[in-house]
């Protein structure tokens, strides 16, 4: 594959991601139901190390989550997906 073909393939993949985000945003705007998170039994927050955000940011994000888990009975932390899986998930 030539460099130009690689650039075109990357641009096509990025365009596909952006289109998907625009579709997701449109669906969110159409949703008129307001979710009251205080009434939910639990909220799941996924943290995926290796997603490209950078190790310094990820370290601090995990520190915040660990503090929340430590000082509040409302949070439960489980590691279910390792960093090595992020490459497979992101493609």
Give the structural domain span for 59: 36-91
| Pair 24, 45 in one domain | no
Q: What is the pTM of this model?
A: 0.41
Residue 90 has pLDDT above 50, yes or no: no
Q: Are residues 23 and 65 in the same domain?
A: no
The reply to whether 40 and 68 lie within a common domain is: yes
For residue 4 the two structure tokens come to 């130009």
Structure confidence by residue, pLDDT tens digits, 10-53: 999 999 999 999 999 999 899 888 888 888 887 777 777 776 77
Within this chain, do residues 54 and 23 fall inside the same structural domain, yes or no? Answer: no
pLDDT grade, residue 87 (50/70/90)? very low
Residues 57 and 89 in one domain: yes
Q: Which two tokens stand for residue 35?
A: 């979710």
Q: Of 4-13, 23-32, 51-60, 73-82, where does mean pLDDT reach its minimum?
A: 73-82
3-state class (DSSP) for residue 44: coil
Cα–Cα nearest to 79, from 55, 56, 54, 62 = 62
Whether 28 and 45 map to the same domain: the answer is no
Map tokens 């799941």 to a residue. 44
Query: Which pLDDT does position 74 carry in this prediction?
Result: 64
Report the helix count and the strand count for the chain, using DSSP H and E: 3, 0
* Domains: count for the chain: 2
Three-state secondary-structure class, residue 64: helix
């Amino acid at each position: 594959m030539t460099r130009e073909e690689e650039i075109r393939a990357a641009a096509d993949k990025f365009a596909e991601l952006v289109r998907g985000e625009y579709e997701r945003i449109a669906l969110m705007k159409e949703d008129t139901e307001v979710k009251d998170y205080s009434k939910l039994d639990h909220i799941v927050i996924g943290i995926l190390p290796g997603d490209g955000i950078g190790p310094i940011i990820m370290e601090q994000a995990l520190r915040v989550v660990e503090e929340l888990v430590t000082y509040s009975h409302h949070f439960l932390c489980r590691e279910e997906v390792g960093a090595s899986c992020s490459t497979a998930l992101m493609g």
